[in-house]
Structure 1
């Protein structure tokens, strides 16, 4: 699989979500092909993006295969091992397992620890000791002990597909848990809400920020403005944010203007308390016939600069991004927004 064809991983900071480890026991191995195909389909349906690394698909002609395997292992979150009786008879499989467990499971405090999930291809009287600590998924008939057949003609009860569904659910939960742990360690940017529906200019900014894999954009989901806990929820996000960005679009009704102003007031207060950069505000021009948010604009442009707030007025999205780049660099986040400049035009 060429790099340009690889799917984007679900997890930030990982090139691959899952490393599929197995011993070649027959060629072609329709069972393994079907497992990989069905599992990826199930996970994409549940998570939208997923990257499963597998040597036969991802090793290109001319690659140094051992080096490529070690590179993939170091950038994979979950180690999914298809276990047979002869799995550890393969020096490659043994090396993959030892390398992953050594790197990921022994991660330092604060680092993202790995996950090992064994797939038992047939029944074991005594499973390999190395896999005993981990939750396994059985892909074998409980009576005969033979592997579930990938063909419904051979297995009308569909044991193989039921096991794929069970495995996909386990992987989904593990990936979501890892995503939460990773996000909690990543720096965050607060991108203030602009009311409902979300304003086009805010959509552009949010879309570009989300293309980065080194930060989290808050709020993660829209605020519920009728909840008593609203301001506490906003303050929780602001407390975590390294930087606050606010779009003050034209054409807001009185209620949305109140929401935009309140978030900005709270952001200024929090950034002062935390000694962090003052919020960056973009005030796009109003289209012909649409009024500017005069009261809000006057407050932003006349009063807040005295507190160190930066604002850009007009339709210069390029200037807005340049100022945002500077603030990101000030926060220790080298920006890659510039490379998307030609792709997103407001």
Structure 2
């Protein structure tokens, strides 16, 4: 059990910096970019991660910053620190990783939410929950507005993540109503960019790694299913905009890029940008894989004055360059 350090107990805010902020899952893909952004904005950041999918190399360049603190901890256990804001991003987010230990995935979403909400209640901290477009399941409404309640299979192989995040949203709004905790909930749609894991099973990283290594590109189903891809820099700006919004803005609010692409279109674009000879191979569609996914971001535009600015091709070029560099390091 992690106890408060003397440093944390003696003061809540750095005398020369902004707020003291906790980022759970801070060494992960999104978390590491968020930690960077918050430090750049003048805040003191506690990065918490159990390194199940997070990687120290994602935040190693931040370790010398005196206003950055790394803490190895699992959110399924209570945490005692003094903070003013909490960004709860802790949870494996790709099917390969969250299905590897589905019980732990559910515990991370549910117990993690309870522990972080309890911390927020005690410290009177504002708290953000990284929810997901997966709460909509295989949607019957397109695009998906926040009012849509979803079509989720509660006993399928993806349910550990889908229902875990739905339960976390329930807990956030119950703490808001019952304990007056200051909450923010964002439903994050497909996001991509540097620091994605090469083996996470997500379509962008899969396609890029296969193309760069000369493998055939694997498409599940007929490739006509759609996704909307948001570059990580845009997404982080949206998360911070939601956290900075007035306290009357709780969410849930969709954050994602509303421009929709089929898997075939994505594969063809990556083949073009990598100049690969890779061919397309087709495999059966996994159970409960959504056929369509596109956010209605009307609320984000109106309330947060936020919308993505990075186009797919621009974001893919940066992501391809990142993976190309990483793969070259791994080659003897």
What TM-score results when the alignment is normalised by the length of structure 1? 0.31
Please tell me whether Structure 1 or Structure 2 has the larger radius of gyration of its CA atoms: 1
What TM-score results when the alignment is normalised by the length of structure 2? 0.33
Give the structure with the larger helix fraction.
1
